[in-house]
Amino acid sequence: MLIKERLFTPGPVPLPPQVIKALGQQIIHHRTPEFTNAFLQVREKLQKLLKTKRDVLMFASSGTGAMEASIVNFFSEEDTVLVINAGKFGQRWREIAKRYNLKVIDYEIPWGKTYDKEKLIEILGKYPQIKGILVQQSETSTTTYHDVKFLAEKANEMLEDCLIVVDGITSVGVYEVYPEEVGIDILVTGSQKALMLPPGLSILYYSEKAEKRLDTSNLPKYYFDVKAESKKQAKGQTAYTPAINLILALNESLNLILDEGLENLAKRHEVMAKATREAVQELGLKLLSESPANSATGVYAPEGINADDLRKQLLKIGFRVAGGQDHLKGKIFRIAHMGYFDFMDMIQVIAGLEIALQKIGYPVEFGKAVSKAQEIIREVL
Per the annotation, binding residues for substrate are 334
Tell me how long the chain is: 381
Q: Return the number of other C-beta atoms located less than 10 Å from residue 374's C-beta.
A: 18
Mutual orientation of helices 368-378 and 343-359 as an angle, nearest 10°?
170
Give the distance, in angstroms, between the CA of residue 81 and the centroid of all CA atoms in the same chain: 21
Q: DSSP letters of 173-236?
A: TTB---HHHHT-SEEEEETTSTT---S--EEEEE-HHHHTTTTT--S--STT-HHHHHHHHTTT
Residue type, 160: E
In terms of phi and psi (left: phi > 0; alpha: psi -120 to 50; beta: otherwise), the region of 197 is beta
Which SS3 state, helix, strand or coil, does residue 252 take?
Answer: helix
H-type alpha helices, the chain: 17-23, 33-50, 63-72, 88-99, 117-126, 148-158, 179-182, 208-211, 226-233, 244-260, 262-282, 307-316, 343-359, 368-378
Dihedral angle sign, alpha carbons of residues 221, 222, 228, 232:
negative
| Positive/negative CA dihedral, 239, 243, 245, 251 | negative
CA distance 369 to 358: 13
Which value, to the nearest 10 degrees, does the dihedral of the CA atoms of residues 305, 306, 308, 310 take?
0
What residues form the annotated binding site?
334
What φ, ψ does residue 56 adopt, rounded to 5°? -130, 105
* Peptide bond before residue 292 is cis, with ω within 30 degrees of 0: no
Residue 99's Cβ-side half-sphere holds a number of Cα atoms within 13 Å equal to 12
H or E element that contains 289 = none
In DSSP notation, 305-324 reads: --HHHHHHHHHHTTEEEEE-
